[in-house]
Amino acid sequence: MNKIALYPGSFDPFTNGHLDILERAVQMFDKIIITVAVNNKKTSFFTGEERVALIHETIKDYSWSDKVVIEQFTGLLINFARQKKANILLRGVRQISDFEYEFRMALTNRRLAPEIDTVFLMPDEQLTFISATIVKEVAEWGGDLSSFVPDNVARALRDKFKD
C-alpha cells in the first residue's frame, strides 16, 4: 500500500519548522501532499496562491521534492484526504501546549474518517519555538529572519512589509 500523507496547515508562512517536519516525513511516506488551508472567514497574511508558490520555491532544489505536491484546499480536511486517497494526516507538534488542540483535531478527524490516522512528528528542538505568528511580528519590525524561515520566505515577508 502506498503511504500517502496529507500535511495540512495554514503555512502563513512556511517556516524552518515546517521544512524540518517535511524532511522527516519524506523518509517515511511515499507521497506527501502539503495542503494549504484557505479559509475565507480567516484573514491570512499571504494569499493561498502566494503560500503555495513560496513552498514550491523553498523545496524545489531538494532531492526529495518530486515526492511532494502542494495544493490549496477549503472545507473539511477528511473530505480532501479521501479525494486524494491519503491514508495519513501529518502534523507537527512543537510543545505540550500544541497537544490539546492537536489531540482534539486528530480524534475529530478519526471519528469522521476512521480509516485515516494522524501521525505527529516533532521538529528539531532548536526549532520548537518558531511559529508563523511570531515570525510575522519579527518581520514587521525588521528583525533578522534567517534562522526562522527559508531565504525566499524572508524576502517575501520583507517585501510585503515594505508595501
Binding residues (CB under 6 A) for ligand PNS: these are 8-10, 37, 76-77, 105, 108-109
Cα(1)–Cα(20) distance, rounded to whole angstroms?
A: 25
Beta strands in the chain (DSSP E): 4-9, 31-37, 68-73, 88-92, 117-121
Tell me the DSSP string of 61-74: TSTTGGGEEEEEE-
Minimum CB distance to ligand PNS smaller for 129 or for 162: 129
Nearest distance from residue 63's CB to ligand PNS, in Å?
26
Least CB distance from residue 65 to ligand PNS, whole Å? 21
Q: Minimal distance in Å, beta carbon 76 to ligand PNS? A: 4
Q: Locate cell 524572508: which residue?
A: 154
Residue 63 or 95 with smaller CB distance to ligand PNS: 95
φ, ψ (nearest 5 deg) of residue 119: -115, 130
* Cβ closest to ligand PNS, residue 43 vs residue 63: 43
CB 82 → ligand PNS: shortest distance, Å? 12
Q: How far is the CB of 70 from ligand PNS (least distance, A)?
A: 14
Name which of 94 and 139 has its Cβ closer to ligand PNS.
94
Compute the CA torsion angle 95, 124, 102, 25 (nearest 10 deg).
-170
Residue 63: what residue type? S
C-alpha grid cell for residue 148? Answer: 526562522
Nearest CB to ligand PNS, comparing residues 82 and 155: 82
